Structure 1
Amino acid sequence: MEETKSIEPLIEVKPIVDVVPYNVDYEEALAKKSNGDELIFEYPTVYVISDKQAEQKQAKVPQFTVYVGETSNIGKRTRQHLDGDTKVREDWKKLKDSPNAEMMVVGDQYFNKSLTLDIENRLMMYLLSVDNIRHLNNRRTNPQRKYFMSDQFDEIFAGVWDALRDKKPELFPAQTDIESSAIFKASPFHALNATQLEGKSEIFNRVAHVLSNTKKVDNQEAAVIFIAGQAGTGKTVLLSNLFNDLVNSELTSHKGVNLLVNHDQQLIVYKQIANKLGLDRDNNDVVCKPTHFINEHQKPGVKPADVILVDEAHLLWTHGKQAYRGQNQLQDLLKLAKVVIIVFDKYQILTTDEYLDNAAINHLEKVASRTGNTITLKDQERMVANPATIDWLHNLAINQEVAPIPADEQYELKVARTPAEVYQRIKALDQNKGQAPASLARMLATFDWKYVDKKKPKDGKTWNVTVGDWQLPWNLQVPVSSKQKKRNKTLAWAEQPQTIDEIGSTYTIQGFDLNYAGLIIGPSVTYRDGRIVFDPSASMNKRATNNRTWKGQKINVAKELLRNELNVLLTRGVHGLYIYAVDQQLQHALLTAAGHEHILGEV
């Protein structure tokens, strides 16, 4: 007998939103505002308390502190906040005493506990990315699994967001604008998939075991937890989630958790997240660079950290450089903490400063595997694409093969006949901001054209990516006003408005998502005898092509690093990628692989 599957009925949720001053008279005001509506007082609700901060000079929009919560009894819960929480938490006392604080209560007849918990979690994920929200309180992450109406959650949340946006557009901008922000993509409030959830549980169990044991492990070094996975498999989201929960966990001590990253642009994002969530309240260095952490924690009398989380650990240096006087940043970190959680992808090692050979990587994995501390993520979480498309991109960079481009209704993978066509397409997408999924489209290129940071070429103009008569400046060169320059300090490269007229490299885009990427593959990537061949002599990336001393010998790993550079650039686009290759044979091979359906500008 054939098994029948129940079909969840389509439910039309039309949430109501009531806005009242947040003070001791809230209940009377809410009853009056809602006319005693039972949807507010008798059903589960979600609430948002916002406090408008004092106006800052030259500020175009006001700044807010926001608290998000959910409850089965809005009256009782608000009394707890006003009467109890104000006695033990300074943030709640400030909300109670502020003349500008308001409470928005959202209700609907179909709201249930699981649904309101998910709405609360999703609201925190979105509000974290709103520019004029300075602080976001309630740092709980509690996404639900399956429940009645869970399959319709995206539509339900969109309705809730629109209802709130009608009341307070300055707090609730267009969803599509938020979804393009770097903070949103690295938010700790993303719902984790089954593999990530299982990995998180294993990591917390291991952290608890190590921290409760006074003995150190692995020969006076920290316990290593190794999160492996290729680009786009959700490593950063898992790490961000772990970071938020560990800072707020009773497992760890005061100032006992640090998140480290060597990537300048990613550092900006994590610092913003930590600041908005108050994770840096007692520790300004809760997010910092590895060198700073090592230098501070090697000082006499400084206690080891409980847990260090290292994002993009493949960017850790493996020899002395600049202010770092050691020989291996990871080895130093293992001596300065009880647990070190690292995110690692050997296909994203980009410079000789970071180089590890396969033997060193295998040893690192074995150290973690001895105690079951290796978490491998395989599901593609970044790219909205079919597995065949993801395999095609992997084969292009890693296996150095150009196969026919597969059909994919979800992902727009196109080969352009000229670089100008790529730029025109990216520019058009950028001009359609707010129309999902168009915004956050940028140009990228392999590092095959000269660029010297903070210096100008002899003609005093800009360092450019040049193909024939077409050219565009390299990253971070387009001039901006002093006001915009100040604003850009809190924005990643791709989020700065002027960068639509620039081309980014791996040094500005690694670790970030774009909705659409336009990629110029430079002359260091060629096609000979049916295979991609990397030509280090055509690259301007000296950090990848210079020789390196490794285990007492001079080695050159340029081809391996240029392969990784191409791999990183090919995997930035969430919804699409447009390619042009400078090498004529590679361009011909790509156009042949594209056929008629995958040529940019053709139907």
Structure 2
Amino acid sequence: MEKQKGVFVIEGQAGTGKSVLVTSIFNEIQRAHNDKSSVFSGTNNYVLVNHPEMLKFYKRIAGESSVLLKKNFDRPTSFINKMLKNTEQADIVIIDEAHLLLTKKDVYNHFFQENQLQEIIKHAKVVIVIFDDNQVLKAKSYWSKQKLIAILGEKSIEIKHLQKQFRVEADADVQDWIAEFCSKKIQQVPKKQKFDFRIMNDAKEMYELVKEHEKAVGLSRLLATYDFPYRLDGNDYFVKAGNLNLRWDRSNPKESLAWAERSDTINEVGSVYTIQGFDLNYAGIILGPSLGYDEKSNKLIVRPEFYEDQAAFNGIKQLGSNIEATKERLMLNALRVLLTRARKGLYIYAVDINLQKKLLEC
């Protein structure tokens, strides 16, 4: 903090404890902030996250803590604009879910520069970046490890890789199956084990199973790929899968609890945007029409034309790479996020009849 700008990059896939680490680090920093004998005494520190549900979670933790303040948790755009307006400089900034930072101008969200990470570094002495390029979901926040290193440039950088899986309480074969499936390879379902992993042929039956777990242990939800219509217009929209017809998660910015933490959301289907960053005990995943099966190649088919989150592709031409491959990567990243939420059990139902048949055969 006294000599030069420093950046600490912490990389780790879903479930490796990144958000727990953020909470722990910031708690210690802010505890020292109140200690007059500490080098951190009086420092101006923040946690930033470009995810409204995660921000609710952090602010709730701050409200229950004796050392944390809600004002120290913010969205990146709000932080950048405040620093510019007040010509302030932060000491330590931790960026959770840094793969969600904008990589292009977004006037609609009041970001007028070109890259949020670049701007944050300008306004902080030390930046801790929590990053997983397998969780990039939108073209306007399109990151790769190469792009990250290029943005950081010649600054003092340290990189740490988190590798231990804390969330998914399954043997390696289940974790390997999920990883292969998100690479479009369909393997035999792993042997029966403590982690309850099932392919379902009845969506309503899957929902009933999830509700049983919700009553028994809590934190059990239905999730779906973004393949069913949804608009932010105050109306209810529904996920229709086989014999199941259940509404999408309702947008409620005024709700203090995050979607995954509210008991009433057992009556809804969550999307990648409401569940990213959170743990569940049991998850039932609906794979919508954008995912199919090709018998010739024996692989998963990804169909961007059926993806209802077309806004995720805004600005994709400006990336200058293979457009279809980039769309596919964003969709498979979203799939990976959904399939890596559950700690104790994962259930999968495919709407596409060919994919459902193949998965059941496996």
Superposition TM-score, scaled by structure 1 size: 0.56
What letter corresponds to residue 426 of structure 1 in structure 2? Answer: V
Distance 1:415 1:475 in 2: 24
Say whether 1:524 aligns with 2:298: no
Distance 2:180 2:40 in 1: 43
RMSD between aligned residues:
2.2
Say whether 1:506 aligns with 2:272: yes
SS in 1 for 2:193: coil
Distance 2:244 2:318 in 1: 40
- Match for residue 534 of structure 1 among 282, 302, 306: 302
SS in 2 for 1:376: strand
- Residues 475-494 of structure 1 aligned to structure 2 (within 5 Å): 475-476=249-250, 489-494=255-260
- Match for residue 247 of structure 2 among 473, 478, 482: 473
* Partner residue in 1 for 2:159: 374
Distance 1:495 1:300 in 2: 35
Please list the CA deviations of residues 468-507 of structure 1 after superposition, one character each: whole Å capped at 9, or x if unmatched. Answer: 4431100017xxxxxxx89x82211122222111100011
SS in 2 for 1:248: helix
Say whether 1:578 aligns with 2:320: no
SS in 1 for 2:140: helix
Indicate the structure (1 or 2) with the bigger Cα radius of gyration: 1
SS in 2 for 1:224: strand
- Match for residue 22 of structure 2 among 239, 246, 266: 239
- Match for residue 181 of structure 2 among 396, 400, 406: 396
* Partner residue in 1 for 2:49: 261
Distance 2:169 2:137 in 1: 25
Deviation at 1:555, TM superposition (A): 4.6
Distance 2:22 2:100 in 1: 16
What letter corresponds to residue 476 of structure 1 in structure 2? Answer: R
Distance 1:408 1:339 in 2: 47
Deviation at 1:280, TM superposition (A): 4.3
Query: Is the Cα contact below 8 Å between 1:255 and 1:286 reproduced in 2?
Result: no
* Partner residue in 2 for 1:293: 79
Say whether 1:441 aligns with 2:220: yes
SS in 2 for 1:258: strand
Deviation at 1:586, TM superposition (A): 1.4
Distance 2:18 2:79 in 1: 22
Deviation at 1:337, TM superposition (A): 0.4
SS in 1 for 2:71: coil
Distance 1:240 1:416, change over 3 A: same
Distance 1:533 1:546, change over 3 A: farther
Distance 2:39 2:172 in 1: 39
- Residues 41-440 of structure 1 aligned to structure 2 (within 5 Å): 211-213=1-3, 216=4, 222-249=5-32, 250-281=38-69, 284-302=70-88, 304-321=89-106, 322-357=109-144, 359-363=146-150, 371=157, 373-397=158-182, 399-432=183-216, 438-440=217-219
SS in 2 for 1:550: helix
What letter corresponds to residue 431 of structure 1 in structure 2? Answer: K
Distance 1:365 1:515, change over 3 A: farther
Distance 1:257 1:300, change over 3 A: closer
What letter corresponds to residue 40 of structure 2 in structure 1? Answer: T
Query: Is the Cα contact below 8 Å between 1:257 and 1:286 reproduced in 2?
Result: yes
Deviation at 1:449, TM superposition (A): 0.5
What letter corresponds to residue 18 of structure 2 in structure 1? Answer: K
Distance 2:40 2:56 in 1: 25
Query: Is the Cα contact below 8 Å between 1:547 and 1:554 reproduced in 2?
Result: no
What letter corresponds to residue 412 of structure 1 in structure 2? Answer: D
What letter corresponds to residue 344 of structure 2 in structure 1? Answer: H
Distance 2:154 2:160 in 1: 13
Query: Is the Cα contact below 8 Å between 1:279 and 1:286 reproduced in 2?
Result: no
Please list the CA deviations of residues 525-576 of structure 1 after superposition, one character each: whole Å capped at 9, or x if unmatched. Answer: 1111201121100110113234425367895521110000100000000100
Distance 2:162 2:87 in 1: 38
Query: Is the Cα contact below 8 Å between 1:317 and 1:354 reproduced in 2?
Result: yes
* Partner residue in 1 for 2:237: 463
Deviation at 1:592, TM superposition (A): 1.4
Superposition TM-score, scaled by structure 2 size: 0.91
Distance 1:228 1:367, change over 3 A: farther
Distance 2:282 2:153 in 1: 37
Query: Is the Cα contact below 8 Å between 1:313 and 1:342 reproduced in 2?
Result: yes
Q: Which has the larger displacement, 574-583 or 468-477?
A: 468-477
Deviation at 1:357, TM superposition (A): 4.3
Please list the CA deviations of residues 28-83 of structure 1 after superposition, one character each: whole Å capped at 9, or x if unmatched. Answer: xxxxxxxxxxxxxxxxxxxxxxxxxxxxxxxxxxxxxxxxxxxxxxxxxxxxxxxx
What letter corresponds to residue 252 of structure 1 in structure 2? Answer: F
- Match for residue 515 of structure 1 among 265, 268, 281: 281
Deviation at 1:362, TM superposition (A): 4.6
Query: Is the Cα contact below 8 Å between 1:314 and 1:348 reproduced in 2?
Result: yes
What letter corresponds to residue 285 of structure 1 in structure 2? Answer: K
Report % sequence identity. 36
Deviation at 1:259, TM superposition (A): 0.3
Number of residue equivalences: 352
- Match for residue 590 of structure 1 among 347, 359, 362: 359
What letter corresponds to residue 348 of structure 1 in structure 2? Answer: Q
Distance 1:421 1:552, change over 3 A: closer
Distance 1:586 1:395 in 2: 15
